[in-house]
Amino acid sequence: MTEDEILTSIFAKLPHPPDDVAVPPGDDCAALKISDDTLMLLTVDQLVGDKHYLMRKTRPEEAGRKLLARNLSDIAAMGGTPTYCLLAVATPVRGAEQWVQRFVQGVLTLARLYDVHLIGGDLATAPHDQVAGLTLVGTVSPRRVCLRSGARPGDGLFATGCFGQSFETGHHLSFSPRCREARFLAENATVTAMIDVSDGLLLDAFRICRASTVGLRLNLDSVPRRTVTTTQGNALYDGEDHELLVALDSKSAETVTGDWPFKDVCLTHIGDFYASGTPEIRDTHNTVLAHDTPHGYDHFALHANH
């Protein structure tokens, strides 16, 4: 089973959520209704040594930074503002104290930039691998929360930044979560769907199609590539980009692209949604790129390694 299939089977076993659960499992974050004006966003991510980073080549500060950054990208995908986090770390005994101190420093350094406060957590030792998990809390207005499930025929698909070769170039350790860009979009445009790209552009775009029950015509030539050596396949499948895919209605698209204030981050129109009885992605030549879960990063695939 793929990761998505396992999650679907687990979600089916969950009881119906209480009324204060505004966004149930299946999106970038869960959300609880705190008041008529505020939703609390909750997300959790893990970082596994030699899976998400190379233990012998990656400084602990870089690994800690990446763990928080991954969670920040999830909050961004919902249009939210991050606030508090909880951290759990397990590492082999040898050199544990120094490694943990440096790892936490990486979390704290990035946390200060995004006004996030570490308020608790847990420490443990592990037999072989370094494993850490972080729960991040944020807030968003119910009127501005962005889901995967609202894309409509006629909406355009836009992407922030560039794609491909994130691991090879070191981008996966140094990327900037798109929190400011996402809030700008949520506040100034009709965002009908949004998702964080962690498992590959094609796979995460398909997740929007599946949640929204639409098709997508993807302009492959428009997808921005990270380097001149990045192939089309790298850009579509590699993952670890942590950019945003955003569905915008046509009126908003014109306004936002004209007023886009972030000169260091491109916002590119890469496709358009169309009516479809089943979720699918086609290119501009009408070739089917995905009609079932497409190729991308899957933790449960044989020899999976981010």
- The per-residue pLDDT for range 19-44, each reduced to its tens digit, is 999 999 999 999 999 999 999 999 99
Q: Using 50, 70 and 90 to split pLDDT, how confident is the model at 305?
A: very low
User: Are the C-beta atoms of 200 and 296 separated by less than 8 Å?
Assistant: yes
In the chain, the largest separation of any two C-alpha atoms, in whole Å, equals 58
pLDDT digits (tens, 9 = 90+) for 49-103: 999 999 999 999 999 999 999 999 999 999 999 999 999 999 987 778 899 999 9
**Mean pLDDT, rounded, of the chain:** 93
- CATH of range 156-290; options 1.10.3720.10, 3.90.650.10, 3.40.640.10, 1.10.10.60: 3.90.650.10
Q: Where are the domains of the chain?
A: 3-140, 156-290
What angle separates helix 179-188 from helix 250-259, to the nearest 10 degrees?
A: 130
Instruction: Please determine, for residue 236, whether its predicted confidence score (pLDDT) is greater than 90.
Output: yes
What pLDDT does residue 2 have? 78
> What integer is the mean pLDDT of 297-303?
60
pLDDT digits (tens, 9 = 90+) for 153-208: 999 999 999 999 999 999 999 999 999 999 999 999 999 999 999 999 999 999 99
| pTM for this entry | 0.93
How is domain 3-140 classified at the CATH fold level?
A: 60s Ribosomal Protein L30; Chain: A; (3.30.1330)
